Every structure is written in C-alpha cells, then in structure tokens.
C-alpha cells in the first residue's frame, strides 16, 4: 500500500500487480463517480457510521440528493426560490453538502438566514459534509466571517454546542480555521461563545493557541491564556512558546511563560526547547526576556546534551552568546554527547566571527586548548577543514599550544587537511590566512544587505573597494547574485553581472546557479534576463545545470506553470529537454501532468527529448491520467511505442485508460492500433479483467466493439473476467457478461483450481450474484473443482457465515436450481449445522453471558415500569369520606383490565429476570431452552405492557374523548404486530422470493 500511495501523490492512479486477490484500495473507492452519488449522505454531528447509514436510508431524510432548484438557489443566494422547493432542505450533494453548506461557501448570508428561519430543527446546522464540515466550519474556512458569526449565533440559540465544537477530517475546528485565516475578531467571538474550542488539537497536533502565536495574533493568544486549560501544543513537538519565540515576540513569550512556565522546558522532536530555539534563530530580545524571567534557563541543556552556547556557535550568533554570558557568566559550553566545546562547534560550522568572539572573551579563553570527545582541539579541526582564516585566528592566540596531540597521537601541525590535494599546508602560521575577496570567502554583512535590498549603488562602492568581494558567498554558498535573484532585484543583477560575469556560473550548496534560483523562486522576468545573459556569453553549462534533486531550469519553470519561460528555455537550449531529475521525471512528463499543451508540443518536436516519469511512467501514462485526448493523439502519432511501455506496477497506458474509465481515450488507442486491445502486460492481466475489477461496463463494451475476441483470462490463476467481477462484487459487470454474446461462454469456464464463477459467488455468500448466475440458461451447477467440490459444497467452506441470512438464501437458491441434489444439500446442511453447534459449545459461556445480560436488562426495565404504574393508577385515588385511598376508577371494566395486564407484565418480566440468575453457564442445551422460554415470556410481557398502557389511557380518556381513547388502543394493539413484522421482515421477504422453495427449518441456525 505504501507504493500505491506514492503513485497517488503524483496524480496517476496505478493498477497494483496481482490485484485480483487484494481488497480494493481506498483511493479506488474515492474515484467511483456514478456510484458515489448513491452513497452520499449528510451526517449529523455525533453520528456513528451505522447511524449515518440509517439516516441515509430513511425516506425524505438527509441522504436524499438535493433538489436541483434548491442547489441553484443556494449557489446564487436567491432566498425567494425557497418557496418553490418542496420541504426537505436536508437534501445533499454527492459531497454531502446541504443547501446551508453551499450558501456558506458562496457567502450568501441572507439566504442562510432565510433557510434557518424556514427550518427550525437542529439537524441543518449540525449536518456534516464529506470533509467533516458543518456549515459553520464551511463558512469559516471560506473566510466568510460575517456569515460565520450569524451561524455561530444560531448554533448558540439552538444549544448546538457540539456543532460548534465539531472538527473536520483534519481535526481542525472553527477556531483553528478562524485564526489560520487571520479573522481575529471572529476568533475572539468563538472563544467567548465556546471556550472548549481552545482545547482541541488537529491531526498535526496543532492547538489554536499555537496557530495564534505563529500568526502573531497577540489579542487571540491573550484571550486563550485567560481560558481554563487551553491546549498549547503544536506540530513536531512545538508549543505556543516556541511559536512566540519563532516570531520574535518577546511580549507574547513573557505572557505565555507567565501563565504556563513549564512550556519553557518542553522540547521539540529535534530536542529544541523554546530558549534553544531563541538562540538558534538569533532572537536576542526574546532571549533577554526569557532570562529576566528565569535566569536558570541560561544553564539549560537539552536531552541531546547540547548547551545554549553550542547552539549559538553552530549558527554564528555572537549577539546571542554575548547576551547569554551577560546573564550567566559561567553558562555551560560543552556538548555532553560529543564533548565538543562551543569553540569546536564554531570551527566545524565555519563561523569565523564567533571564533573571534570566543578568542577575545575573558570567560571563554580557556577553550582554546580544550579537547573534545575525539581528543582534538579546535586547531586540529580547523586544520583538518583547511580553513586558513580560522587557523590564522587561532594561532594568533598567545596561549595556543600547537603541540597538543589528538587521539591518534598527532599534533595540529601534522594533521593532513581533508582536501590535501587542493589546500596548501596551513601551519606554520607563515602561510597566513586567505586573501580578502578570494573565491570561497564568507560574504560580508554590507554586501549581503545590499543584495537583499537591491542597492546597486552600494554594490558599486563595495566592488570598487574590493573587486574580489563579489565572489564571496554565505554559508549556503549563495553569492550576492543568488541573493538578489531570490528577492527579484533585476537592476542589482544587471550591475553585478557587468562587474563580474563569472557570477552566472556560481553554484550554491544546493547545486543552483543564479538562473536556477530565479526560476525556482518564480522571478520570471529576471530569469528571462539571466537566460539571455548566459546565452549571449555562451554559458550553456550554466543553463543546463541541475540542482541536487536533478532538476534544471526547465523542470522548475514547467513545475511552476511558467509556460512562456519554459518555451524560451527550450528554444535557447534544447538540451534541457533531455534531462531527468532524481525522481526520473522528464520536463515533458511534468508538462503533460500540468496540461501545458504548448510546452508539450515544443518538447515533442525537440529531437531526443526525454519522455519518462516517476516509477516507470511515461508521458502517455500522464496524458491518460489527465484525460487529455489531444495529447494522447499527438503522442501516439509521434511515439507510438510508448503505448506498450509498462510502469513499475506493470500497467500500460491503455490499461490505465481502462482502469480510469476513460472510454474516449480507449477508443482513440484502439482506432490508432487495434492490436492494443489484445495487449497483455507482464502481470498477465488482460484489459477485460481490469475492467471487471473496477466494474467499468462501458469500457468493456467499447473494447469488444473493436476487438470481439479480446483476451479475457488472467495468466497467473486462470481467472476470467467473470471470476474477477464476481469476486469483487461487480454486479452490473456480471450482468453485462451474462447478457453478452461474446462472453456468455465464460459462465461455466474454470480457473486453474477448477472453480467456476458460481463457486466464487457461493463462497462469497452473495445471493444476488448466485441468483444471476443460476438464472443463466447455460449454467452447470454440477461442475467439480480440482478438490472434487461442486458449487453447492463450497458452502461448507463458508460455514463461518452459516448463521447469516445470505448463507441460507444461497443454500435455498441452490436447492431450487437443482432439486435432484436435495439429499446432498440436506447432508450439507446437517454437516454445517453440526459444525456451528460444536463451535457454539466451545463458546457457550460467552453466549450465555451475552444473552442473559441483554435479556435481563429489558426484563428489569419492563418490571420497573409496570411496578411503578401499579401505584400511579389512572384517575388517582378517592378523597371522599368512607372511600379514602380507594381507586376512583375501580368499578370500570377498562381499569380492571389495566390492573390485570399490568400484573401479568410485571410477573412475566420478573420471571425472565430471575431465570437469568439461575442460568447454567456452560450448558448449550440449557442455553437453547433458556432462549426459547425467555423469548416467549418477553413477548408476553411486551404485549401485556402495551395492553396496560392502552387500557390505562382508555380509562381516563373515554368519558370525554372516546375517539382518542379508541385510537390509542388501536395503535398500542398494533404495536406488537408491527414489531413482529419489522423483526421478521428479512425472512418474510425471503419467503416471498422463494415461495415453495423456502425451507423454514433451515433458518433455525440464524
């Protein structure tokens, strides 16, 4: 399944190999267009799947499809049309959206008010669509703040707190979305209305407070802090304090820490506490606020053993380290895991400025000769890295000891640099540091600021003072031209290239040239300018450069949808079309996936352009997935062999078209090359089996129109398309095969195990499938499999379903199909009954406990009701002299019937309750006796209770409202009959369908 999910991410629905023995993947069910609408239903907050199904099945309920006029009215916001629509506003679209959802999407506030006025029930506001959204959630996610306020007020008026608290399929509630959308006033209103919203976290573990802190919504965070027990967690182990630190909001950080001081010591998944994060990101103000609140935080070491000074050293934040030492002069500086000091870390990270800070610090000067866990000083590491400036700075220290041996017994002056063939000996010091402005020098702050802001005047001045400075780079390897390309400063780039054209070929640590950076960041005009510069200077290698992911400028331009830039790139350097990235994606494949027809046409005309894609797909697979018939036609004309290429799951493009139900594209394939209809991939799965797997009748019909004798049998197990359709429950496809002249011969065809489709249908206990097969005039139910079983005896292998109605219906259908096998089927029934009985004996204790507990609860409930009714008599008690305490209605016949029926109901229900007490827990025969006797007693108690109810009300109502009294009596008398009818309806339905073939004794197992 992991491989299937990876295919879904690139948008191509794959056909998994050997799928006939696997359950259908979830993503296949999600793409079932016509059937999906039949299953769509509006769910109400708190519904379980079973209750949602029961809602959808009720007439006029939420499961009905929305009236077309109501949909138009909700979309347009025309409240006047509501009068033309019949009642039942809970009708839904296939996505589960009610008219209130639709109106909320479009922001029609007046329409929503009209609907809520029309429908006073709670269901409409509590309705949940396919994404788990109530109308309130829908309004908030679409940014309809005013409408959301109206819906919130309605929810409060109708006491629908659960609807307000509802979370969507991502776990987000309305407060999450309101804060994420920047609707501060609405968020405050939501918190005021339902404080419990603050306690929810979404599927990414994000709390509303965390999102508010990330978005710097100070008012919302303050309100949440006043709420009792609000959640404060975030993704990847972050909390709200981490978020405040990330934004550099020291005031917010102080407030959060004041209310929740324990958050300061919580770590993210990469072991960063909030104060570690402040140090890592160079937030000096936040660090100061945290240390003023609790100075001991300066000594905090995370679970990875990393102190704050080492974090500052790795990032080169001198100001942070200075502030930390001001509050904590003896702050820890040694990593507990590696033994590296902050000086070692700074040297390894190439932070020259931090190294100079340490060397000048009175508090840290002792680190210069300190050894790490590998017994190496900072000087050993600087020499090993070949950093001349770092070595020179260390050697200038008067207390440096160059004779210290490392763990291998080698002093610093004997250490061989990592790049020994490129770096000259660094010690003795006479070698000196690298000259200022040489390639590889760290970019100065002034040049970085000029490139960031696009200040070309400062660039000219800096270049005049030191021409070599232009080639300096930051730790990420970005030159000033890279930085300017990120920010889109075209004038700065023009000037930088004039001053030093070699910048065009500079590559950062991600393998990106300035052209690649400009394209990847979407700066199209600047990218066009850099392309012309490279083209004029014949720097083809700079244009063709691929980043560390293997993507060139053309990949990025197409991926971002910059079609005109992509065309210019192809025309300027056709070789770009031949490159594939590390995911094996070609520019043409990405262009087809994005439906950029113009770019695709140009790439197709380019000689030797690549056409492959991820996981073995090619551009034809991509075109089929998108349903782009025009591109499919052009590929088939130019590169027809691609139609026979298989991806990693052994699916060809035409098989993908069958799987995706793309009938037009299938027709185009077959019109271009009819032989493709006979193509069987390496998996041995013919097209008809693929169509049967997903139930696409139209595809199969189109295939047979072009290829009447198309292959229908799978190589691996000999299954025909009929076997496949039966196994996966594709009823329509089975009917299509049985009614087809081309495929009717499959009805008795056997697979490699000798089983026909009927064997499989019987094993699946699918009565509709079995009936359809048995009704075919050519069916032969006497076919034996290789194990010597007929379809009838396959039922024995499905004995675990023997207590179901489906199993018994299939059994009766087989008896009806061939009366001559009555003796055999009777023996089968006896064998299965014995097996079920033996299984029940093994589990008799659990079964007895289950039955007694369920029955006793109902019995005690009836006994309680009838006992209470005996002392609250209809009509009450007399207060007349001489008759005090006597029932007023004692002489009425109906009252006497009430007393008798009430007494009988109480006695019979108490009898059932006490039978439960004496139940023998490990005796199956007693269990059967118990079930039989208690069932009869419970039915008697049920009828007596309804009779007592009817006669009691009759006694009171008859003198003044005789018609109502009679109606109540009739209704209560009919209630047991109706109950019996509903409970026995499946069996009565089966009796009606089978008529004389119905065998009631068989259902004793159910």
Instruction: Tell me which of 497, 521, 545 is where a domain ends.
Output: 545
Distance CA 57, CA 59 (A): 6
Percentage of the residues of the chain whose pLDDT score is greater than 70: 78
Pick the most confident of 535-539, 824-828, 885-889. 535-539
pLDDT band for position 839 (50/70/90)?
A: low
Does some domain include residue 487? Answer: yes
Q: What pLDDT, on the 0 to 100 scale, is given for residue 53?
A: 37
Does some domain include residue 142? Answer: no
Going by C-alpha positions, the residue among 222, 56, 62, 58 that lies closest to residue 127 is 62
Per-residue pLDDT, averaged over 44-51, amounts to 41
Q: What pLDDT, on the 0 to 100 scale, is given for residue 882?
A: 60
Does some domain include residue 917? Answer: yes
Does some domain include residue 571? Answer: no
Which CATH number do you get for residue 467? 1.25.40.20
pLDDT band for position 399 (50/70/90)?
A: low
pLDDT at 784 over 90: no
The CA-atom distances, in angstroms, between 209 and each of 180, 220, 221 are 11, 8, 6
Q: What pLDDT, on the 0 to 100 scale, is given for residue 426?
A: 38
Residue in the block written with tokens 């299954």: 719
The CA-atom distances, in angstroms, between 221 and each of 217, 285, 724 are 6, 19, 58
Does some domain include residue 197? Answer: no
pLDDT band for position 704 (50/70/90)?
A: very high
Model pLDDT for residues 358-393, shown as the tens digit of each residue: 888 866 766 877 788 887 888 888 888 888 888 888
Domain count, the chain: 2
Does some domain include residue 781? Answer: no
Residue in the block written with tokens 């006992």: 867
Handedness of CA 968, 969, 975, 978 (dihedral sign): negative
Distance CA 677, CA 600 (A): 27
Does some domain include residue 909? Answer: yes
Joined together, the tokens standing for residue 118 give: 């029309």
User: Which structural domain range is residue 475 located in?
Assistant: 438-545
Instruction: Tell me which of 494, 521, 545 is where a domain ends.
Output: 545
Per-residue pLDDT, averaged over 569-587, amounts to 91
- Give Cα 553 distance to the centre of its chain: 32
pLDDT band for position 966 (50/70/90)?
A: confident
Under 8 Å between Cβ of 388 and 426: yes
Q: What pLDDT, on the 0 to 100 scale, is given for residue 422?
A: 36
| Element (DSSP H or E) covering residue 844 | helix 844-870
How many Cα atoms are found within 13 Å in the side-chain-facing hemisphere of 857? 5
Under 8 Å between Cβ of 495 and 462: no
Instruction: Tell me which of 526, 545, 564 is where a domain ends.
Output: 545
Does some domain include residue 470? Answer: yes
Under 8 Å between Cβ of 379 and 344: no
Under 8 Å between Cβ of 814 and 825: yes
């Amino acid at each position: 399944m992991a491989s299937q999910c990876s295919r879904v991410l690139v948008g191509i629905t794959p056909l998994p190999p050997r799928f006939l023995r696997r359950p259908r993947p979830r993503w296949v069910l999600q793409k079932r267009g016509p059937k999906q609408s039949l299953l769509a239903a509006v769910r109400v907050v708190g519904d379980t799947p079973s209750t949602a199904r029961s809602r959808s099945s009720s007439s006029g309920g939420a499961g009905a499809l929305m009236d077309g006029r109501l949909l138009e009215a909700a979309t347009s916001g025309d409240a006047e049309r509501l009068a033309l629509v019949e009642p039942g506003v809970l009708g839904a679209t296939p996505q589960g959206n009610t008219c209130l959802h639709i109106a909320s999407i479009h922001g029609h506030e007046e329409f929503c008010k009209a609907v809520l006025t029309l429908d006073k029930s709670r269901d409409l506001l509590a309705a949940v669509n396919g994404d788990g959204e109530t109308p309130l959630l829908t309004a908030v996610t679409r940014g309809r703040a005013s409408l959301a306020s109206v819906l919130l007020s309605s929810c409060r008026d109708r006491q629908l707190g659960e609807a307000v608290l509802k979370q969507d399929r991502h776990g987000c509630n309305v407060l999450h979305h309101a804060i994420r959308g920047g609707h501060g006033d609405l968020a405050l209103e939501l918190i005021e209305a339902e404080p419990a919203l603050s306690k929810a976290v979404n599927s990414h573990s994000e709390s509303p407070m965390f999102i508010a802190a990330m978005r710097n919504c100070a008012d919302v965070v303050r309100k949440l802090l006043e709420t009792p027990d609000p959640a404060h967690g975030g993704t990847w182990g972050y909390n709200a304090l981490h978020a405040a630190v990330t934004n550099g909001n020291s005031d917010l950080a102080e407030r959060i820490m004041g209310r929740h001081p324990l958050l300061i010591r919580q770590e993210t998944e990469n072991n960063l506490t909030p104060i570690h994060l402040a140090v890592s990101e160079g937030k000096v103000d936040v660090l100061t606020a945290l240390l003023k609140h609790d100075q001991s935080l300066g000594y905090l070491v995370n679970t990875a053993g990393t102190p704050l000074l080492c974090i500052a050293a790795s990032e080169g934040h001198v100001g942070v380290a200075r502030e930390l030492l001001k509050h904590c002069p003896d702050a820890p500086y040694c990593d507990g895991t590696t033994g590296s000091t902050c000086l070692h870390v700074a040297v390894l990270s190439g932070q020259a400025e931090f190294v100079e800070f340490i060397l000048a610090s009175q508090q840290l000067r002792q680190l210069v000769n300190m050894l790490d866990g590998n017994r190496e000083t900072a000087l050993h590491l600087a020499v090993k890295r070949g950093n001349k400036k770092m070595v020179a700075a260390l050697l200038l220290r008067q207390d440096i000891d160059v004779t210290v041996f490392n763990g291998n017994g080698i002093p610093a002056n004997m250490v061989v640099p990592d790049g020994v063939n490129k770096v000259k000996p660094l010690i003795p010091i006479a070698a000196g540091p690298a000259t200022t402005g040489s390639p590889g020098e760290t970019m100065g702050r002034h040049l970085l600021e000029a490139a960031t802001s696009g200040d070309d005047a400062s660039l000219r001045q800096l270049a005049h003072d030191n021409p070599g400075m232009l080639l300096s780079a930051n730790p990420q390897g970005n030159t000033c031209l890279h930085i300017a390309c990120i920010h889109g400063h075209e004038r700065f780039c023009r000037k930088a290239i004039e001053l030093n054209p070699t910048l065009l070929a500079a590559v950062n640590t991600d393998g990106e040239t300035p052209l690649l950076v400009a394209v990847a960041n979407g700066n199209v005009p600047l990218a066009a300018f850099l392309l012309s510069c490279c083209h004029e200077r014949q720097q083809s290698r700079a244009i063709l450069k691929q980043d560390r992911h293997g993507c060139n400028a053309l990949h990025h331009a197409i991926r971002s949808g910059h079609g005109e830039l992509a065309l210019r790139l192809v025309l300027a350097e056709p070789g770009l079309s031949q490159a594939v990235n590390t995911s094996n994606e070609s520019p043409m494949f990405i262009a087809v996936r994005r439906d950029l027809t113009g770019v695709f046409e140009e790439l197709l005309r380019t000689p030797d352009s690549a056409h492959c894609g991820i996981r073995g797909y090619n551009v034809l697979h991509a075109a089929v997935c998108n349903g782009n018939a025009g591109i499919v036609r052009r590929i088939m004309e130019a590169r027809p062999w691609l139609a026979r290429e298989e991806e990693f799951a052994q699916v060809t493009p035409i098989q993908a078209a069958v799987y995706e139900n793309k009938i037009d594209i299938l027709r185009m394939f077959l019109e271009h090359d009819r032989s493709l209809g006979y193509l069987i991939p390496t998996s041995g799965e013919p097209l008809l089996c693929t169509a049967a797997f997903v139930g696409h009748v139209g595809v199969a019909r189109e295939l047979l129109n072009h290829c009447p004798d198309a292959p229908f049998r799978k190589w691996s197990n000999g299954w025909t398309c009929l076997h496949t359709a039966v196994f996966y429950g594709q009823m329509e496809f089975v009917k299509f095969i049985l009614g087809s002249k081309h495929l009717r011969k499959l009805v008795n065809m056997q697979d490699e195990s000798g089983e026909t489709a009927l064997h499989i249908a019987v094993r699946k206990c699918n009565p509709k499938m079995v009936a359809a097969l048995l009704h075919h005039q050519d069916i032969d139910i006497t076919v034996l499999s290789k194990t010597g079983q007929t379809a009838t005896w396959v039922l024995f292998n499905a004995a675990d379903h023997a207590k179901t109605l489906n199993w018994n219906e299939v059994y009766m259908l087989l008896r009806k199909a061939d009366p001559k096998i009555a003796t055999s089927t009777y023996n089968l029934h006896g064998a299965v009954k014995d097996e079920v009985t033996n299984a029940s004996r093994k589990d008799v204790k659990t079964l007895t406990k289950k039955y007694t507990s369920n029955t006793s609860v109902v019995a005690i409930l009836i006994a309680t009701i009838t006992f209470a009714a005996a002392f609250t008599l209809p009509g009450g008690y007399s207060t007349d002299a001489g008759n005090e305490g006597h029932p007023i209605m004692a002489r009425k016949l109906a009252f006497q019937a009430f007393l008798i029926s009430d007494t009988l109901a109480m006695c019979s229900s108490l009898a059932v309750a006490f039978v439960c007490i004496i139940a023998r827990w490990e005796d199956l025969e007693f269990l059967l006796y118990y079930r039989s006797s208690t069932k009869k007693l419970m039915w008697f108690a049920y009828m007596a209770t309804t009779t007592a109810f009817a006669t009691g009300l009759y006694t009171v109502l008859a003198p003044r409202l005789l018609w109502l009294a009679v109606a109540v009596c009739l209704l209560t008398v009919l209630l047991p009959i109706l109950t019996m009818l509903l409970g026995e309806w499946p069996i009565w339905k089966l009796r009606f369908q089978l008529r004389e073939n119905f065998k009631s004794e068989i259902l004793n197992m159910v």
